[in-house]
Amino acid sequence: MMQVPVNQFEITDEDKKAVLDCLNAGWISSEGPYVAEFENLLAEKFDRKYCVAVSSGSAALEIAVRSLKLKANFKAILADHTIISCANSILVNKGKIISIDSNMQNWNQDEELTIKAIKKYKPELILISHTYGLPFQISKIEELCFEMGIKIIEDAAEMIGQTQSGRKCGSFGDISTLSFYPNKHITTGEGGAILTNDFNLAENFKKYRNLCFLKDRRFFHNEIGWNYRMTSMQASLGISQLNRLNSNIQKKRIIGDYYIEKLFDLKEFIELPLSSHKGDKNIFWVFGIIIKEKLRKYYDGQSFIKKLGEYNIGSRPFFYPLSLQPCLEDYFAWENQDNCLKSIELSKYGLYIPSGIAITKKEQDYVVKSIRDIILECIK
Ligand SMILES: Cc1ncc(COP(=O)(O)O)c(C=O)c1O
């Protein structure tokens, strides 16, 4: 039986050479030219003035929120269907969350509900976390947020290389954050970055990534900070990977479109992602499917994942709703915790199937055939 992991990344000979060159040059910590070069290239790529590289996308979010220096108990709007890192970044900075239910078309937080919540709660911050491949229509809320003095952080971890209404994801709002975990469109193993056009914010990013060292008084600290630095080896890999960003996005689109074509006739049983939404083309960071009503008496997301496992196919559930996360229960996390029924539905019936950059057609065919067999078994 074939084995298909949920994610397969790509490390080329050029990538290996780039890291070896870095090692040979003797730069292994965050000091030296590699991190700075990676930051400059990222700033240029994402149409931003400043970029600060850090140790992960989660660290990037935590520093981004902290750098805004919002007053304790600030209110932040956030998708209910997203990664825990987003909630953490608000809570460690003493904010309260207003969670927004999902839109079933693009699986992001719902645009209309977001606008309603902005007007109702007048939050200090909105953290937009684009999800799975189609961007949240972030351009639609920029002006309103600007008029109301609301800060925007754009979590573009999954949207590296994506655009929204022709503008690059990673260039919206006051701050954008990226992740370079191996399932992202470019990887540094672990790693992340924070982008802004604001000089003072960028200075804060640097301080908070590096233990809050003072520039002119070493080992004297008037704020507490942690070590969130990126190494030169990671940066050298990132520089090399960045050269392939455009072709990686093309590959992801080919992978996504191939699944859509091959799974199309199963649409009564599983919902497929849209290949585009309101003019933005999907980049299929992951290829999600949702078990539909007809199949729900046989499978939910978890049991479908288990079944795919019997075929040696790796898959993952959709995010668990933030509003139901046990770890947030005792945190006084909520300004408002509406029932996010769509986010709950996504979490219960959604999963993503193998779609890493290095997946082959043969592997995709095997995944498609297995899904077909599993479904046909139920209805025969
Ligand atoms: C939307 C989003 N934000 C943040 C992160 C966190 O990134 P990292 O794993 O680099 O901490 C992820 C990770 O997958 C993510 O999907």
Q: Is 268 within a domain? A: yes
Q: How far is the CA of 322 from the centre of ligand 1 (A)?
A: 15
Q: How confident is the model at residue 336 (pLDDT cuts 50, 70, 90)?
A: low
Residue whose pair of structure tokens reads 């809050």 in the numeric block: 212
Q: Residue 11: what pLDDT?
A: 97
Q: Is 238 within a domain? A: yes
Residues 184 and 267 in one domain: no
Does residue 82 sit in helix, strand or coil? coil
Residues of the chain above pLDDT 90, percent: 94
Residues 52 and 25 in one domain: yes
Instruction: Find the mean pLDDT for residues 295-304.
Output: 98
Give the least confident one: 34-38, 76-80, 274-278, 325-329. 325-329
Residues 79 and 226 in one domain: yes
Q: Residue 206: what pLDDT?
A: 97
Residues 226 and 349 in one domain: no
Q: Is 1 within a domain? A: no
Residue of 55, 84, 181, 194 best suited for mutating to test ligand 1, as the one with most atoms within 8 Å of CB: 181
CA–CA separation, 335 vs 325, rounded Å?
A: 15
Radius of gyration of the chain (CA): 21
What is the full DSSP assignment across 322-348? Answer: GGG-GGGGGGT-EEE----HHHHHHHH
Q: Is 4 within a domain? A: no
Whether 285 is in the pocket of ligand 1, judged by its Cβ within 6 Å, is no
Atom index in ligand 1 nearest the CA of residue 179 equals 10
Residues 6 or more apart in contact with residue 9 via CB below 8 angstroms? 182, 183, 187, 356, 357, 358
CA–CA separation, 182 vs 248, rounded Å?
A: 13
Q: What is the pTM of this model?
A: 0.97
CA–CA separation, 285 vs 282, rounded Å?
A: 8
Whether 176 is in the pocket of ligand 1, judged by its Cβ within 6 Å, is no
Q: How many CB atoms lie within 10 A of CB 6?
A: 19
| Owning domain of residue 65 | 13-242
Q: Is 8 within a domain? A: no
Q: How many independent structural domains does the chain possess?
A: 2
Q: Residue 329: what pLDDT?
A: 80
Whether 78 is in the pocket of ligand 1, judged by its Cβ within 6 Å, is no
Is the pLDDT at 349 greater than 90? The verdict is: yes
Atom index in ligand 1 nearest the CA of residue 180 equals 10
The amino acid occupying position 188 is T
Residues 179 and 235 in one domain: yes
Residues 117 and 199 in one domain: yes
Whether 58 is in the pocket of ligand 1, judged by its Cβ within 6 Å, is yes
Residue 170 burial (10 A CB sphere; 0-12, 13-18, 19+): buried
